[in-house]
Structure 1
């Protein structure tokens, strides 16, 4: 029996190309992983099978297949394989999961953590307690909110929502919401007699957020409210009528809640559905036409329109980036940025254009453009801890992109990156203390650990203790499998890094040990002569071949108190070296 032909990679990294070695095509490849080298593929010479898909999608149509036999419509220019490879690389670079995976592979390919979205959020809310009756086998139904909580409880939960959630996710008018609460809890002869109203989806969503931001663990009422909102929204998806502004608002609430409590896949699919609903209602258009197909059934305040579209974009962009998946882009969108509620005060919407510039399909993904975007992000001044975390998350993503391009960042810019990272860690601890389980309180500390290990200088490694302390506080406050996994993985990455450092130190010590013996006889003779001589003591610069050590002491201030002469002339090496 003949052996099957051995598979060869059609892609070789730059190191394997220069050494003319066979490359496995992995990231990092087997050779770079073995020697601990930085594995880099030249995008100008890469060819991936995915490039064929892009070429087929942009290929000119066959005139014979057109419906009317007319000339084919103009098509977009073909996307080259180089651009395809760059886009795929950018998708991975946007993802914190891919970054953590590459970091582990570079240090220890055998024990590196698998590809996984660590610290996606603080973890799923606990399931229904045992005291809760099991659901019936019949189709679940939405429970009227007036049967779930009292009006006083609703007012309390609304207060929590606007104190903790609204400053970051501002898209609901408080006065209008409170009027709806009063109307919903009127005597049973009016609206409260209804099984539920479409606005119940908003009230249920707001109340669920109130529980989420006031209790470490979920209660049965929170889960019931979230389920009621879901059932109402699912029912509206089956309707032939265009969704109302209230339904869109409830969808934004649901996607936001899923981002903080559910799995990555559930949050991503919901965010994509939200973008399609935005398109169906025409909320992405600043001045929708009266004759447009996409038309809301009722008038909408322009500021409300902008904020709902801005929130939908923000959620879909970042969930897609973190999963290394494509986002939904609504072509022809003309919506303007929302007006800040407080003049000259930055909101989350101010960071949206910079976030979207990281899309692999944009043209502004080169090193100079990314470095300029990074400086713009760092120039923003945010006071609220929630927004500091959003800003820090965006900054870390841009830094990952620059590292993927092998860009050398200047020292002052790197110092600013570390400064904002420390600020983000402090913000995360404040959020934990105030029971605000934003997903960034888990994600930012974990990514700071990964980024610090990747930077690998004194200042970055000195921040590891602060990052791990923050991650430990989050895990202690929200004792979930997700947080235990994130903390253990961060610990593993630091352990692998430390072992690699020990191996490097031992290699250097071995070199010094082997090469120190040649100078011992001469040193002993010179020391004997110095003990009987009245001539002044010589410095290292007086010995041929060692003048560079004096310059080293000057160039490295931290060696100022180090006895270099005694070190070079001693044969007392540590045991076991």
Structure 2
């Protein structure tokens, strides 16, 4: 039986001995400050304080760095803040440059609390360690406020296990696993299933699991229609209440991050852009709060009782952070809002799975340049042009990813259009190619009753892009795009779908009227006067006397330009 994530019981115990091992050598910063040193590179003290750990062969007079091969192999000392190996910097440094010390973050796995080593919350403990206190302060928000009011307790009294039967939950989990999980594959479905079974049998797995399974039920119902709408919405509301409850939200966990991802996807598919953007940003902040964006060798772990468990869950942790990043980036890029940046991210250690397209989705997102305000327009344009080519060359493998690729291509096009309205033909062709590939993919998703948000929004945006390009090639693609939008609208038969197709028709009519006016003007200009048989009459027709010449040189009256229509007198 799988234990809940928030429960630390049953984790592997540390393998290190309980006797203190004395290091034969101390690094230069520890000798200089007369602090304990464990003899490693970097040592625990330098890691905790952010010092540049270095060793010298002559008592520290020569501060040469100690190489990894010179490290003394000693058993890991027993300490409340276990040091993990430092991450090698990914940025190359020129010869002679001073290396910037890597500052580890601090992770308290018992509370899933991650913070930078320069945090005010961590500083009392740092001071305690600096003073060599036998009992340094714990990680705690000492004196964070005046404490005049008590913190509110739990206000959620809805009981999910009594509201929906386990056999229905089983069916909905299967729907989720076959439709949503292949795209957003951040959950360990087998472990989740076992924990849910225990939860429905009376072995409570905590509010985090309940918020997570409520999100799964809501999305599975949206994609299958197995539940009545009011039942589905009540369960979705339950997830929201748990995630926003003050007694639960102050203890972030990986389950909370997963539940917020599912809520964001559901809100993006059913609600307004501002709400979905806020939800995606909250998810990213929780990723940072739980340290999911950091490798285990990049953190100082408070207590080592869960180190083995965290290493085992490394793939799930990275996948959760990756999907949260993808959802926030896609929503922000499409909406024109800033995405949450929590530092450089790398998910190269994620193990690919059969039938999983999460890495394909991340491959698209990683090609998007950040929206940096004030950046050089020429540099910005070159980045967007490169991103457009990258997106078109990226593999998709799934209809949803294909439609998402087109969605992101249109995002890039809108930014390029603001920078330079005269795009090159190959760039226009790339946009049209991406949109054209999305048409059959969107139709197949709709036939499968998979109401992803971009099934209709991307097709509507494609029509807008085609009309904005306004070339012979783009106008030739309008009928297919309009037909696809009408097919999807007929199948959905919702207010938003009908509103979209009516707006698309309005834009097509506006484009047609504009072209009619242009054609009318060109037709008047292109009229050929009747051939006059008498050549002398023709010559006489075009001859000016001096009076006519003076009249011709006079400026036209101002009233001639008051009429909005361009009237040509022939």
TM-score (norm 1): 0.60
Is this contact kept in 2: 1:142–1:232, CA < 8 A? no
Find 1:355's aligned residue among 348, 353, 368. Answer: 368
Paired position in structure 2 for 1:271: 280
Is this contact kept in 1: 2:183–2:356, CA < 8 A? no
Find 1:521's aligned residue among 509, 526, 532. Answer: 532
Counterpart-to-counterpart distance in 1, 2:349 and 2:424: 32
**Taking structure 1 as reference, are residues 344 and 279 closer, same or farther at Cα in structure 2, changes over 3 Å only?**
closer
Higher Cα Rg, which structure:
2
For CA contacts below 8 A with separation 6 or more, give which structure has more relative contact order: 1
**Taking structure 1 as reference, are residues 149 and 217 closer, same or farther at Cα in structure 2, changes over 3 Å only?**
closer
**Taking structure 1 as reference, are residues 388 and 394 closer, same or farther at Cα in structure 2, changes over 3 Å only?**
same
Long gaps (5+) in structure 1: 1-138, 526-576
Paired position in structure 1 for 2:516: 502
Counterpart-to-counterpart distance in 1, 2:317 and 2:493: 38
Paired position in structure 2 for 1:304: 316
Counterpart-to-counterpart distance in 2, 1:279 and 1:377: 28
Counterpart-to-counterpart distance in 1, 2:185 and 2:356: 16
Q: CA deviation at 1:378?
A: 0.7
Q: CA deviation at 1:521?
A: 2.4
Q: CA deviation at 1:429?
A: 1.0
Tell me the SS of whatever aligns to 2:481.
helix
**Taking structure 1 as reference, are residues 466 and 182 closer, same or farther at Cα in structure 2, changes over 3 Å only?**
same
1:448 equivalent to 2:462? Answer yes
Is this contact kept in 1: 2:156–2:245, CA < 8 A? no
Tell me the SS of whatever aligns to 2:420.
coil
Is this contact kept in 2: 1:317–1:356, CA < 8 A? no
Q: CA deviation at 1:439?
A: 0.8
**Taking structure 1 as reference, are residues 226 and 154 closer, same or farther at Cα in structure 2, changes over 3 Å only?**
same
**Taking structure 1 as reference, are residues 236 and 296 closer, same or farther at Cα in structure 2, changes over 3 Å only?**
farther
1:319 equivalent to 2:334? Answer no
- Post-superposition Cα deviations, 1:345-387, rounded to whole Å, max 9, x if no partner, equal 7521111211244555777953232212211111122221011
Counterpart-to-counterpart distance in 2, 1:185 and 1:471: 43
**Taking structure 1 as reference, are residues 259 and 470 closer, same or farther at Cα in structure 2, changes over 3 Å only?**
same
Tell me the SS of whatever aligns to 1:326.
coil
Larger deviation: 197-206 or 320-329? 320-329
Q: CA deviation at 1:253?
A: 1.0
Is this contact kept in 2: 1:216–1:435, CA < 8 A? no
**Taking structure 1 as reference, are residues 505 and 249 closer, same or farther at Cα in structure 2, changes over 3 Å only?**
same
Tell me the SS of whatever aligns to 1:393.
helix
Paired position in structure 2 for 1:163: 178
Long gaps (5+) in structure 2: 1-153, 537-569
Tell me the SS of whatever aligns to 1:347.
helix
Paired position in structure 1 for 2:225: 215
Tell me the SS of whatever aligns to 1:290.
strand
Larger deviation: 232-241 or 416-425? 232-241
Larger deviation: 356-365 or 304-313? 356-365
**Taking structure 1 as reference, are residues 461 and 259 closer, same or farther at Cα in structure 2, changes over 3 Å only?**
same
Q: CA deviation at 1:390?
A: 1.0
Counterpart-to-counterpart distance in 2, 1:430 and 1:351: 21
Tell me the SS of whatever aligns to 2:397.
coil
**Taking structure 1 as reference, are residues 361 and 405 closer, same or farther at Cα in structure 2, changes over 3 Å only?**
closer
Counterpart-to-counterpart distance in 1, 2:388 and 2:218: 36
**Taking structure 1 as reference, are residues 359 and 304 closer, same or farther at Cα in structure 2, changes over 3 Å only?**
farther
Number of aligned residue pairs: give it.
378
Q: CA deviation at 1:141?
A: 3.8
Is this contact kept in 2: 1:216–1:477, CA < 8 A? no
Q: CA deviation at 1:438?
A: 0.8
Q: CA deviation at 1:424?
A: 0.4
**Taking structure 1 as reference, are residues 388 and 522 closer, same or farther at Cα in structure 2, changes over 3 Å only?**
farther
Paired position in structure 2 for 1:261: 270
Paired position in structure 1 for 2:236: 226
Q: CA deviation at 1:250?
A: 1.0
Q: CA deviation at 1:523?
A: 11
Paired position in structure 1 for 2:482: 468
Paired position in structure 2 for 1:414: 428
**Taking structure 1 as reference, are residues 199 and 523 closer, same or farther at Cα in structure 2, changes over 3 Å only?**
farther
Is this contact kept in 1: 2:211–2:242, CA < 8 A? yes
Say what the alpha-carbon RMSD is for the aligned residues: 3.2
Alignment of 1:77-96 (within 5 A): none
Is this contact kept in 2: 1:286–1:335, CA < 8 A? no
Alignment of 1:277-296 (within 5 A): 277-287=286-296, 288-291=298-301
Is this contact kept in 1: 2:218–2:232, CA < 8 A? yes
Paired position in structure 2 for 1:491: 505
Find 1:328's aligned residue among 329, 340, 344. Answer: 340
